[in-house]
């Protein structure tokens, strides 16, 4: 072949390779055609392409044709190829034309081993595949014949080919990721549609039950029947009964039942003294009981219950409890192999039980009230005639005196004394009649001081009058608006049916106060913050209720003003507890009280421990053992968590070094959570490097975890910090993946090594098909992005096996190990060594 013909063939091959990198839609087809094109211009009977995963130090032969050797299409550890020319090209990042003379020189320089894969031929030519400065693989050809030798021109051609292969690989990977993302989003939307339909049916059914519960004229037997009908639309409730408990006589009778197998003729639903039936199991425990046939048999064999009926295959019972009083039980059972009840059915039945118990108790109370009312009505009629004249004579005078003593001079509203009296009466009435409900709204004007300071006190007085009139228009006639003083108002809303009505009143007031008031020909914007407090049996005085309503109002101001907040019992202690806890946290940081607990992370294929997640724990000298949920939120709010994180990271590294020295375990690593603000601080890499230098651990033994929030704020600073950590050799894990923003855009942009799948998807995933689809998508996505995956919160063997089958790399959770202090972990590691 002439010199010019060779040049023409190479030019044609180069054009063909360039077009392949653009047109080819399949990796295998691309690699096969690349081989064909190269073989057209040089001897390439022995040709392979291997991809290198830097994160996991693995090799994968994606294409391999050889006259003598065969390579399985699987991933190999890079260590298996140590001393080979393939490994040499990966390490150097440069092409290698290895003639026998070059091979001998490399062996003498100990850069390759005398015996290794790829050293048995005459000439070997390999070039690196480089993407964005990183070696991602090797393409190589080899000659076993002295007649076939390679020159620099073949090396140049192979290097040029490598660039096109990298381009095509990147394009194909991007196309695959996009397709996976679109497919995952489509499946997610379809699941959302199905879930929404289920939720709408559930909401409608529960609303109908609520309507039945609030109908005082509905006969109890009819109520039971309608409840059964509604429950039957949500659960298979063909066999349903409500058993009522008579605590005085320790008896059980069936207020309602409908059963396919049993009836009163066979005595199944006759009243009885409490015994050891399954219904009594619910009554005695006061808890939901969900059993299959084997579970019922086991209870019988243990002597706890009677022998179950052979026809009963699934049994679900919930207690009927009202205000701590046990009224009875509600039960459904199945005689069909196709019908088995679940925890979701149990949760629904528990919800329904509260409404049924409320209806039963309300009818008892209503009956007692009716009798009392009839007696009082008779007595009132006897007294009314005698007192009527006296009342008429004194009424006018008393009303004038009361109004003067009980109303605010400026606004004409009831004053504090009157409101206190009305509120105490409402409290007393609620004590006598628990079904009587009421609420207090505590209002404070947000910008009243601005009006006073700028327009004067006269304008402020006029504004208070306007607001008083507006508030009266918002409430019902039977409710009370009062002025406590200054710019503080309170509203007593009595005889309420639920919280929603109160929320509507609060919303109307905040909306009204957001509008301008015309004061002295000038628009004034005022706004208000409202504390909402519902009655509760713990309140014995109006002063204590006003205090808590005031606390709720200040919470509304703290959260941005122009809003309302409902009092929570925790608010009362929150301020004092927060101040005390903050002081103790600061002292604990100074005293080095925070210590790491270690939860092992295992290789999911064989359960081998590869590292630990270090979790902050606080054995306080003052408070005893303080759980993370009790101090982490405040530590984050006050930014003290920054010091805690670095303290835990340093102690974890110290512990890792002790294990290496005592046990010789050099393969382990520690992974620590870092609060997102760490990544907003440019000193983070120096902080971590200082800890590494101080403790003596290797950078690759240190991993840091961050949440998605850190990626969405100050993204440029965060990216700089992450790149600096990567250069140090520290690996980066994205924690709780799937619960936040979860955008493909930041997964491409930020250099993460590992995705940790959030425990909310893992928990009982073997029972949740929709979660299985999400987890599979995350695992595949991570694999496509060359990231590892860790399943968090694994508690069941079935979940572990399912994650293993999906290809999840690592796992952690109580199924494997719970978090333990360092000495207990060391004892465990010592026992396994």
Assigned domain for 201 exists: no
Q: What is the tens place of the pLDDT at every residue in 234-270?
A: 888 889 999 999 988 899 989 888 888 887 677 788 8
Q: Are residues 508 and 596 in the same domain?
A: no
Q: Are residues 235 and 332 in the same domain?
A: yes
Which region holds residue 114: left if phi is over 0, alpha if psi is between -120 and 50, else beta? alpha
CATH code, domain carrying 322: 3.30.450.40
In eight-state DSSP terms, residue 453 is H
| Calpha distance 479→473 (Å, rounded) | 11
Share of the chain above pLDDT 70, in %: 89
Of 647 and 664, more confident: 647
Of 36 and 694, more confident: 694
Q: Are residues 235 and 149 in the same domain?
A: no
Q: Are residues 531 and 598 in the same domain?
A: no
Helices (H), 76-151: 85-92, 100-108
Assigned domain for 551 exists: yes
Q: How far is CA 712 from the centre of its chain?
A: 18
Mean pLDDT within 275-303? 92
First-residue to last-residue Cα distance in the chain: 66
Boundary of a domain, candidates 545, 567, 589: 567
Residue 121 belongs to what domain range? 3-175
Q: Are residues 484 and 437 in the same domain?
A: yes
* Confidence class for position 116, pLDDT limits 50, 70, 90: very low
Inter-CA distances, 753 with 130, 610, 722, 808, Å: 19, 15, 11, 14
Q: What is the tens place of the pLDDT at every residue in 409-436?
A: 999 999 999 999 999 999 999 999 999 9
Element (H, E) at 731: strand 731-737
Q: Is the pLDDT of residue 3 over 80?
A: no
CA nearest to 334, candidates 308, 357, 354:
308
| Calpha distance 47→408 (Å, rounded) | 97
Q: What is the tens place of the pLDDT at every residue in 527-565?
A: 899 999 999 888 999 998 999 999 899 888 878 788 899
Assigned domain for 375 exists: no
Boundary of a domain, candidates 524, 548, 567: 567
Tokens representing residue 657 in the block: 């070094």
pLDDT at 791: 93
3-state secondary structure of 620: strand
**pTM of the model as a whole:** 0.41
CB contact at 8 A, 779 and 806: yes
- Helical axes 822-832 vs 641-663, angle rounded to 10°: 30
CATH code, domain carrying 737: 3.20.20.450
Q: Is the pLDDT of residue 118 over 50?
A: no
Boundary of a domain, candidates 541, 567, 593: 567
* Confidence class for position 8, pLDDT limits 50, 70, 90: low
| Calpha distance 718→707 (Å, rounded) | 12
- Helical axes 797-806 vs 769-784, angle rounded to 10°: 40
* Total count of domains within the chain: 4
Average pLDDT, the chain: 86
């Amino acid at each position: 072949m002439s010199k010019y013909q060779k040049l023409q063939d190479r030019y044609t091959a180069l054009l063909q390779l360039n077009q392949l990198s653009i047109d080819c839609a399949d990796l295998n087809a691309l690699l096969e055609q690349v081989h064909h094109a190269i073989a057209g211009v040089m001897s390439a009977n022995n040709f392979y392409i291997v991809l290198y995963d830097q994160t996991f130090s693995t090799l994968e032969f994606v294409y391999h044709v050889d006259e003598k050797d065969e390579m399985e299409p699987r991933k190999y550890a890079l260590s298996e190829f140590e001393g080979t020319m393939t490994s040499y090209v990966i390490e150097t990042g440069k092409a290698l034309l290895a003639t026998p003379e070059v091979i001998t020189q490399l062996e003498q320089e100990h850069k390759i081993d005398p015996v290794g894969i790829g050293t048995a031929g005459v000439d070997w030519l390999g070039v690196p595949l480089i993407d964005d400065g990183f070696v991602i693989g090797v393409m190589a050809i080899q000659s076993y014949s002295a007649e076939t030798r390679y020159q620099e021109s073949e090396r140049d051609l192979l290097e040029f080919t490598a660039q096109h292969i990298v381009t095509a690989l990147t394009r194909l990977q991007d196309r695959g990721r996009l397709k996976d993302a679109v497919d995952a989003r489509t499946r997610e939307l379809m699941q959302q549609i199905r879930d929404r339909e289920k939720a709408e049916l559930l909401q409608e059914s529960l609303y109908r039950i609520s309507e039945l519960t609030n109908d005082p004229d509905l006969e109890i037997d009819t109520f039971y029947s309608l409840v059964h009908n509604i429950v039957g639309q949500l659960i298979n409730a063909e066999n349903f009964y409500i058993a009522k408990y008579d605590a005085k006589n320790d008896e059980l009778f069936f207020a309602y039942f409908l059963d396919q197998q049993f009836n009163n003729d066979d005595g199944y639903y006759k009243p009885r003294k409490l015994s050891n039936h399954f219904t009594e199991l619910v009554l005695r425990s006061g808890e939901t009981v969900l059993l299959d046939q084997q579970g019922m048999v086991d209870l019988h064999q243990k002597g706890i219950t009677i022998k179950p009926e052979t026809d009963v295959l699934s049994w679900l019972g919930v207690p009927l409890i009202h205000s701590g009083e046990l009224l009875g039980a509600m039960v459904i059972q199945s005689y069909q192999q196709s019908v088995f009840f679940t925890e979701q059915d149990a949760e629904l039945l528990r919800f329904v039980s509260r409404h049924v118990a409320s209806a039963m108790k309300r009818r008892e109370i209503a009956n007692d009230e009716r009798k009392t009312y009839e007696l009082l009505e008779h007595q009132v009629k006897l007294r009314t005639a005698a007192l009527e004249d006296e009342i008429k004579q004194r009424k006018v005078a008393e009303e004038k005196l009361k109004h003067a003593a009980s109303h605010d001079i400026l606004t004409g509203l009831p004053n504090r004394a009157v409101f206190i009296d009305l509120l105490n009466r409402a409290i007393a009435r609620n004590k006598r009649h628990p079904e009587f409900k009421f609420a207090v709204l505590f209002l404070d004007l947000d910008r009243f001081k601005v009006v006073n300071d700028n327009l004067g006190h006269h304008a402020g007085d006029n504004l208070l009058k306007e607001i008083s009139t507006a508030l009266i228009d918002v409430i019902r006639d039977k409710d009370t608006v009062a002025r406590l003083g200054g710019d503080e108002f309170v509203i007593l809303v009595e005889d309420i049916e639920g919280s929603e009505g109160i929320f509507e009143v609060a919303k109307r007031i905040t909306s009204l106060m957001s509008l301008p008031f015309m004061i002295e020909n000038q628009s004034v914007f005022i706004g208000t913050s409202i504390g909402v407090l519902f009655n509760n049996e713990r309140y014995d005085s109006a002063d204590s209720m006003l205090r808590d309503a005031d606390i709720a109002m200040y919470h509304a101001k703290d959260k941005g003003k122009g809003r309302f907040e409902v009092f929570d019992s925790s608010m009362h202690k929150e301020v004092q507890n927060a101040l005390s806890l903050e002081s103790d946290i600061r002292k604990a940081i100074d005293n080095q009280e925070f210590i790491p607990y270690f939860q092992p992370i295992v290789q999911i294929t064989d359960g081998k421990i590869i590292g630990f997640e270090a979790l902050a724990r606080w054995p306080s000298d003052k408070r005893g053992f303080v759980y993370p949920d009790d101090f982490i939120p405040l530590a984050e709010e006050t930014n003290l968590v920054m010091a805690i994180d670095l303290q835990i990271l340093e102690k974890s590294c110290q512990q890792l070094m002790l294990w290496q020295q005592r046990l010789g375990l050099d393969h382990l690593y520690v992974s620590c959570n870092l609060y997102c603000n760490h990544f907003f601080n440019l000193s983070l890499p120096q902080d971590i490097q200082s800890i590494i230098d101080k403790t003596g651990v290797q950078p690759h033994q240190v991993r840091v975890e961050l949440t998605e929030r850190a990626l969405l704020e100050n993204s440029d600073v965060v990216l700089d910090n992450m790149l600096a950590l990567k250069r140090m050799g520290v690996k980066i894990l994205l924690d709780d993946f799937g619960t936040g923003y979860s955008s493909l855009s930041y997964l491409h942009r930020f250099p993460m090594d590992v995705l940790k799948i959030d425990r909310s998807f893992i928990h009982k995933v073997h029972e949740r098909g929709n979660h299985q689809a999400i987890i599979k998508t995350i695992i595949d996505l991570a694999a496509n992005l060359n990231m590892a995956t860790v399943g968090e919160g694994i508690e069941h063997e079935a979940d572990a096996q399912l994650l293993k089958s999906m290809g999840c790399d690592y796992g952690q959770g109580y199924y494997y190990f719970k978090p333990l202090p360092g000495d207990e972990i060391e004892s465990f590691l010592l026992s396994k060594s």
